[in-house]
């Protein structure tokens, strides 16, 4: 009896989830199909899909014969990106049989942002708070990790998080000290919320972006496992049409192997290369491992012109820590090479 009731409760949700996923695969945005009834061209042609970007990496013959998975496995990621991932401890690094584990890691001096405090929530454009401090907005598909990242950046628990997509249902404004605002927005794409609510989120975010003069940059969060999806491309097209600067952050990097992460980074850089408003530095973070957060904090401080205040002492410490790390890396590489030669 209990099982039947449970199945009845879950079934409609699963169906709507299926439609959302299918729509994504076939290139139809659930947002567009729901709101307008007929299919519209959902995004501008300047954004390449992941498959298009993949197929551009090989010649026409191979592009026709090889599967997408094969093409992805054939990608040769940039060595420098992999080095950076290793340095920051990003990406899942299962060591192979002959790989040796490192006994050291980069001990980066932490950059600290003030704790955040919730000060306003807006469900309509009329309730946006007064513009007083520079703002950085966080957007992305539901469940991509926006609220978790806002918390982790400031070592706080002010933003509520959940495993179920659709918890954040309004634009939440947090103030970090008296220096900047971090703005956590509801997600687009599938969410466990009423249709009427989910459909109001994109227009709400759009009016926020169009109206807000204190908005310095929009951070678009992408799940590192999935890359750019159709809703993301639509959103980027919207930002391009309003001339808003945006930057991409790959989240949940702990769930992807470091080599695949480097490949994903490469593909996304290719896909967004033609956009004038996309800042070409793609950030990578893991809120779970707290990796990559320091770089993001520095970026935010620069965006809000707060570098002088927060990073004056940091540069010196950072230079010392980096020199130490590269020295250790050199010795490590030399001993690894010697071990390999002996084998
Ligand atoms: N493994 C892993 N899980 C993460 C990471 N960041 C967030 N999560 C998990 O992802 C889930 C969703 O996180 P939220 O921060 O609520 O996501 P959101 O984007 O705010 O979602 P909405 O409010 O629904 O739009 C939670 O269960 C988090 O614990 C990460 O870096 N690694
Ligand atoms: Mg949220």
Lowest mean pLDDT among 14-23, 141-150, 185-194, 318-327: 14-23
The number of domains in the chain is: 1
Report how far apart, in Å, the C-alpha atoms of 143 and of each of 44, 186, 206 are.
25, 10, 19
Q: Is residue 14 one of the residues assigned to a domain? A: no
Distance CA 166, CA 149 (A): 16
Indicate if ligand 1 lies below 6 Å from the C-beta of 166: yes
Residue 4 has pLDDT above 70, yes or no: no
- Determine the structural domain holding residue 241 and report its residue range: 116-312
Q: Is residue 233 one of the residues assigned to a domain? A: yes
Place of tokens 């699963």: 14
Handedness of CA 142, 143, 148, 149 (dihedral sign): negative
Nearby residues of 129 by Cβ (< 8 Å), 6 or more positions away: 119, 120, 122, 173
pLDDT at position 94 is 67
Residues 45-58: tens digit of each pLDDT: 566 777 777 777 77
Indicate the DSSP class of residue 181. E
Side-chain half-sphere exposure of 211, counting CA atoms within 13 A = 14
pLDDT at position 35 is 41
Q: Is residue 308 one of the residues assigned to a domain? A: yes
Q: Is residue 13 one of the residues assigned to a domain? A: no
Q: In terms of pLDDT, which residue wins out, 29 or 177?
A: 177
pLDDT at position 95 is 60
The CATH number linked to 295 is: 3.40.50.300
Ligand 1 atom having least distance to the Cα of 162? 16
Indicate if ligand 1 lies below 6 Å from the C-beta of 172: no
CB-based contact 119:172 (threshold 8 Å): no
Nearest ligand to the CA atom of 288: 1
Phi and psi at 307, nearest 5°, equal -55, -45
Indicate if ligand 1 lies below 6 Å from the C-beta of 81: no
What are residue 131's DSSP bridge partners? Answer: none
Q: In terms of pLDDT, which residue wins out, 284 or 337?
A: 284
Collect residues with CB below 5 Å from ion ligand 2: 146-147, 168
Q: Is residue 125 one of the residues assigned to a domain? A: yes
Which structure tokens are listed for 268? 């996304």
Phi and psi at 257, nearest 5°, equal -65, 145
Q: Is residue 179 one of the residues assigned to a domain? A: yes
Distance CA 275, CA 277 (A): 6
Q: In terms of pLDDT, which residue wins out, 336 or 282?
A: 282
Indicate if ligand 1 lies below 6 Å from the C-beta of 288: yes
Which structure tokens are listed for 179? 């220096």
């Amino acid at each position: 009896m209990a099982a039947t009731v449970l199945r009845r409760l879950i079934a409609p949700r699963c169906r709507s989830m299926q439609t959302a996923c299918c729509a994504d695969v076939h290139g139809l945005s659930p947002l567009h199909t729901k709101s307008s009834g007929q299919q519209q061209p959902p995004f501008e042609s300047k954004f390449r899909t992941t498959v298009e970007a993949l197929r551009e990496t090989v010649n026409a013959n191979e592009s026709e014969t090889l599967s997408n998975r094969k093409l992805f496995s054939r990608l040769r990621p940039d060595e420098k990106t992999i080095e950076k991932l290793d340095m920051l401890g990003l990406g899942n690094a299962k060591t192979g049989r002959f790989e040796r584990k490192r006994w050291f890691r980069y001990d980066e001096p932490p950059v600290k942002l003030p704790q955040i405090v919730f000060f306003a929530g807006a469900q309509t454009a009329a309730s946006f708070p007064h513009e007083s401090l520079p703002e950085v907005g966080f957007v992305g598909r539901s469940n991509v990790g926006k609220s978790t990242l806002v918390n982790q950046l400031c070592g706080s628990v002010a933003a509520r998080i959940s495993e179920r997509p659709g918890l954040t249902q309004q634009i939440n404004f947090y103030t970090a000290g008296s220096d900047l605002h971090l703005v956590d927005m509801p997600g687009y794409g599938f969410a466990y919320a009423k249709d009427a609510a989910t459909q109001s989120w994109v227009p709400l975010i759009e009016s926020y972006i169009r109206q807000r003069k204190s908005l310095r940059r929009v951070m678009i969060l992408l799940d590192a496992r999935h890359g750019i999806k159709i809703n993301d491309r639509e959103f980027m097209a919207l930002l391009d049409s309003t001339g808003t600067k945006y930057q991409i952050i790959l989240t949940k990097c702990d769930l992807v192997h470091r080599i695949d992460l480097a490949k994903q980074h490469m593909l996304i850089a290719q896909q967004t290369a033609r956009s004038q408003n996309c800042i070409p530095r793609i950030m990578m973070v893991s809120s779970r491992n707290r990796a990559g957060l320091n770089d993001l904090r520095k970026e935010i401080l620069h965006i809000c012109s707060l570098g002088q205040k927060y990073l004056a002492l940091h540069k010196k410490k950072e230079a010392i820590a980096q020199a130490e790390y590269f020295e250790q890396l050199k010795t490590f590489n030399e001993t690894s090479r010697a071990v390999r030669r002996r084998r």
